[in-house]
Amino acid sequence: MPPAPKVPLHIAVVMDGNGRWAQRRMLPRVAGHRQGVESVRSIIRVVGERGIRHLTLFAFSSENWQRPADEVGFLMELFLRALREEMDRLHDSGVRFSAIGDLSRLAPETQQLIEEAQARTAANDRLWLNVAVNYGGRWDIAQAVARAVAAGRSHAFPDYLALAGQPDPDLFIRTGGERRVSNFLLWQMAYTELYFTDVLWPEFGAEDLEQALAWYAGRERRFGMTGEQVREVAGG
Ligand code: IPE
Ligand code: IPE
Ligand code: MG
């Protein structure tokens, strides 16, 4: 096995803390979601500049439907608007866009824009951006198994997971202070390095990403082997 590169190939992010960011400012929670879009723009730019090839952002979980209807509605509108307003720029900067999750529950207009954006950016290869919407790690495993069985390929069910064909995340970042995975990429994060920060998502910027990357660079990824074995391979 080659030595683990010190820059992650794939980063997965739970963008948490929007509501608390707003509440601390006496603003409605949704103001935090709006501000969070700015952090999304900035992390996509910085990640691209640092040569990271895959970025997976958790935008809406399969459990987030349980929130008040007006907050859910606002988040869906915000996602639709971001799709409309950002896709030209993303395409021009060489970003390939995918949405992962059970998209059948999204508005038909949103589903159509997703399909168009995916088709339009499919040949871009600078950065592969996956946005998880109505995504749950348990849903992902269950749908992959169901499709694999239907195809008579149950042994190959990982081929049917939402991120099939992309490397597993090397680095997981969760903002907002909680130390949990909240049903994100359960299968894919078996050996991912887990980084947690108290910074709230609307305040997460380039310096915070640099800190996470520096922390990652100091990890020794052993994949079940001994440290001696890993260092022997790394040393040639
Ligand atoms: C994350 O921020 C965004 C979504 C879950 C959509 P939250 O809205 O969960 O913010 P907090 O955790 O309440 O502060
Ligand atoms: C996880 O955040 C989901 C997203 C960031 C989209 P939550 O705020 O929903 O997670 P819990 O409820 O605190 O675990
Ligand atoms: Mg939260």
pLDDT tens-place string over residues 123-143: 999 999 999 999 999 999 999
Domain-embedded: residue 48: yes
- The model carries a pTM of 0.97
Compute the distance between CA of residue 131 and CA of residue 110 in angstroms, rounded to an integer: 13
* 164 Cα: distance to centroid of ligand 2 (angstroms): 23
Q: Is the CB of 180 under 6 A from ligand 2?
A: yes
Q: Which of 216, 213, 215, 219 is nearest to 43 (CA)?
A: 213
The rounded percent of the chain whose pLDDT value lies above 90 is 96
Domain-embedded: residue 166: yes
Torsion of Cα atoms, 8 then 61 then 164 then 173, to 10°: 10
Q: Is the CB of 166 under 6 A from ligand 2?
A: no
Compute the distance between CA of residue 62 and CA of residue 164 in angstroms, rounded to an integer: 20
pLDDT score at 162: 98
Q: What is the mean pLDDT of residues 93-117?
A: 98
Burial bucket for residue 61 (CB in 10 Å: 0-12, 13-18, 19+): buried
Q: Is the CB of 59 under 6 A from ligand 2?
A: yes
Domain-embedded: residue 4: no
Q: Is the CB of 19 under 6 A from ligand 1?
A: yes
User: Per-residue confidence at 32, pLDDT binned at 50, 70, 90?
Assistant: very high
Domain-embedded: residue 1: no
Segments forming the whole domain that contains residue 141: 10-234
Nearest bound ligand to CA 60? 2
What CATH number has the domain bearing residue 188?
A: 3.40.1180.10
Look at residue 1 and tell me whether its pLDDT is greater than 60: no
Total number of domains constituting the chain: 1
* 180 Cα: distance to centroid of ligand 3 (angstroms): 11
Q: Is 64 a catalytic residue?
A: yes
**Residue 16 Cα: closest atom of ligand 2:** 5
One-letter amino acid of 20: R
pLDDT score at 208: 98
Compute the distance between CA of residue 69 and CA of residue 5 in angstroms, rounded to an integer: 44
Cα→Cα distances 149→135, 138, 140, 141, 155, Å: 21, 17, 14, 12, 8
Domain-embedded: residue 64: yes
CB 183 within 8 A of CB 138: yes
Quote the tokens at residue 167. 């490397």
Domain-embedded: residue 2: no
**Residue 178 Cα: closest atom of ligand 1:** 12
Pocket of ligand 1, candidates 14, 15, 18: which has the most ligand atoms within 8 Å of its Cβ, to mutate? 18
Strand order in the sheet with 171-174: 95-100, 127-135, 54-61, 10-14, 171-174, 193-196
Strands (E), 62-207: 95-100, 127-135, 171-174, 193-196
* 88 Cα: distance to centroid of ligand 1 (angstroms): 27
Q: Collapse the DSSP code of 88 into the 3-class scheme (helix H, G, I; strand E, B; otherwise coil) and give the result.
A: helix
Domain-embedded: residue 5: no
Pocket of ligand 1, candidates 20, 25, 134, 173: which has the most ligand atoms within 8 Å of its Cβ, to mutate? 20
* 227 Cα: distance to centroid of ligand 2 (angstroms): 34
Domain-embedded: residue 3: no
Q: Is 134 a catalytic residue?
A: no
